[in-house]
Amino acid sequence: MVFRTVATRSPLAPACHVARAYVKPKTQLNVRAMSMRARPSTPRRVVSGLVTVTAIVAGAAFGVYCLDSRAGVHRWLFPPMMELLTDPESGSKISIKLLEHGLAPRDCGKDDEVLRTELFGKTLTNPIGLAAGFDKQGEAIDGLFDLGFGLVEIGSITPEPQPGNPTPRMFRLPLDAAVINRMGFNSEGHEAVRERLHARLHKWVQRVLSAGEGLVSSVGAPAPEPTALAEAQVFANYPVINTSLLDDAHVPRSLKQDRLLSINLGKNKSSREDSVVDYVKGVQALGAYADMLVINVSSPNTPGLRRLQRRSVLEGVLRDVVTARDDVAKQRIDSLPLVVKVAPDLSDAELEDVADAARASKIDGIIVSNTTVSRPAGLLSTQHVHEAGGLSGPPVKPLALHALQVIYKRSEGKIPLIGCGGIMTAEDALEFARAGASAVQLYTALAYRGPGLPRRIKDDLAARLRAEGKTWKDIVGSGLRDVPSYAPDAVNQVGLYPGAQDAFDRSVASVRHEIEQLRESFEGHASEERRALPFDIDEHDDRFKELLREAHRVTDDVPHFNDASSPQAGVLPQRTSSVPEHLLLMAKERGLTQGEVLHEAVHDAAAVPQAPAPALAASHSADATPMSTDKAAPDHTTLGGLKGHEAKSVPEAYRAPSTAEKRVV
């Protein structure tokens, strides 16, 4: 409305008063004119309504279609779009968020009975698992189980939060369907993940109590029995929700029937390389929430971590972690399997050492394998191929398969193995099973083939097994055969970070220089005669004689003397002899070398004697070793510039050997 002031004169008011009046603008007249126009006809309104309803129904149908992981868009449309529009790490984060909030597809099929298997005494509806590295913080566990995996592994998780390596740290090799990553254990830490797992448990218990449901989202598994639902109601009697109520209700930590939740434990970069404390902390903090724990000693992106795979170190690490696991397992009814994850870049001898260490430490299983630092021949991609980090995908499959065969053969099939590395099809899974894998894991293939990959692999796998008239358990280890030995090719290794190769080359050159110096030192003194300090022998000192025998036994087993120089100067043998075990223990405790502790032991037993009188030497000349009269007078100078004189008569057992038996360095 527009107000306009108009001056009017009223007989009842003074002329100066002004009244306000409303004046309708022209725009209002135009609106009224438009309202007078004819409305759309009935047929047109019907057509418009039908189009709207059709669009709504089509959108709903497409949404329902997309909820099934087998939909073609999840293989042919969405993965290429993700690859085109995002970098690898951003694409992974988007996928995690979609899975976390229930916006991802689900496996709507049912697992075939031929796929049912057992792992560590626990039943699995299928042997297809997700490897660690995708859901590092445990944010989308339920969404990942809904994709149809029988085993989901989260992590690696470190005790303290750490950001990992600088970005970019993940690279696609699309022509090879592979990925290179150097994430560096980016983790929110034990406490953050533990709180997230506890919140998941709390939410699930509340859902069970409010809806009277059983195991949430038991995709691919038979419906739970009514008795199981009744047992689940025991949760109502718990004033505080904790993991012990799962034991009473016989519910796995995955909260899914016949599924396993695995937690991968890593180390902080700031921790000592040889320290096992980080793994023990992980067992204590997260063991209560896991169906299975994994010790990661094979990531190539944490400096020094792979050195823990040496048997002498690995066995000690595993024993300490097994002890911590046993303490946690006492507080739960079911078992808590502990497995170790190894690299594919080990030689056959090193792989056999891993198998021996696993058996000796009584660990429950081995995951074979992690990413490789090598760049196998035949890679088609050229961009990013020389980036530092671990390579995953089909190129690592031959290495992982070979490592699996070696470990299975060495362990005689007595240790459950999980195959991982380059699995993209049902045929790949069958190859790993025949090589000894009780279950398999994939990760990289999920990014290239979409969320429907687990269902496609399971369907194809079931069809192949039924055609052979076998089950998954029947083929595990059935195709083991002798394979050529393998040793890593150092030429194709890639460093942990830019510039690492140069540092490695400098280290190698330094070691070679030290070896050359040692060789020159040994060659320069090869012909020199090494003598012990001069000493006198008291024929009544039995204790001293026994110590002397022990010293000679350590060095050469035969006590003898150099009669050409001084009858009391012992000559060390050419070969290097072993040191007694008690002396080795003493050296280790005191931080001494073997030579230092041996020298100290002999020196403490016998002090350097005083020079005897000349008459004493003459009185015993008849008992001394005969010497040729035409020889020059002996030189009594020994090592260290000490003057040696002829000592008393040497007992029969300590006399010098004959000329033919005499040995001088």
Buried b (16+ CB within 10 A) or exposed e, 370-405: bbbbbbbeeeebeebbebbbbbbbbbbbbbbbbbbb
Our CA angle for 596, 600, 605, nearest 5°, is 155
* Contact between 390 and 497 (Cβ < 8 Å): no
88: Cα separation from own chain's centroid = 22
Residues shown for the chain: 665
* Residue type at 370 in one-letter notation: N
DSSP string, 469-489: T--HHHHTTTT----------
512: Cα separation from own chain's centroid = 31
For 290, the enclosing helix (H) or strand (E) is none
User: Among residues 92, 187, 271, 299, which one is catalytic?
Assistant: 299
Estimate the crossing angle of helix 190-211 against helix 277-286, to 10 degrees: 20
For 226, the enclosing helix (H) or strand (E) is helix 226-232
- Is 299 an annotated catalytic residue? yes
Find the distance separating the first CA and the last CA of the chain, reported in whole Å: 122
Give the integer Cα–Cα distance in Å for 450 and 459: 16
Which residues, 6 or more positions from 378, have their beta carbon under 8 angstroms from its beta carbon?
A: 395
Place of tokens 């002798």: 482
Give the integer Cα–Cα distance in Å for 336 and 375: 36
583: Cα separation from own chain's centroid = 37
* Residue type at 18 in one-letter notation: V
What's the token pair of residue 485? 């030995």
* Contact between 369 and 423 (Cβ < 8 Å): no
Our CA angle for 90, 96, 97, nearest 5°, is 90
Give the integer Cα–Cα distance in Å for 437 and 442: 13
Q: Phi and psi (nearest 5°) for 123?
A: -85, 140
Could you give the residue numbers annotated as active site?
299
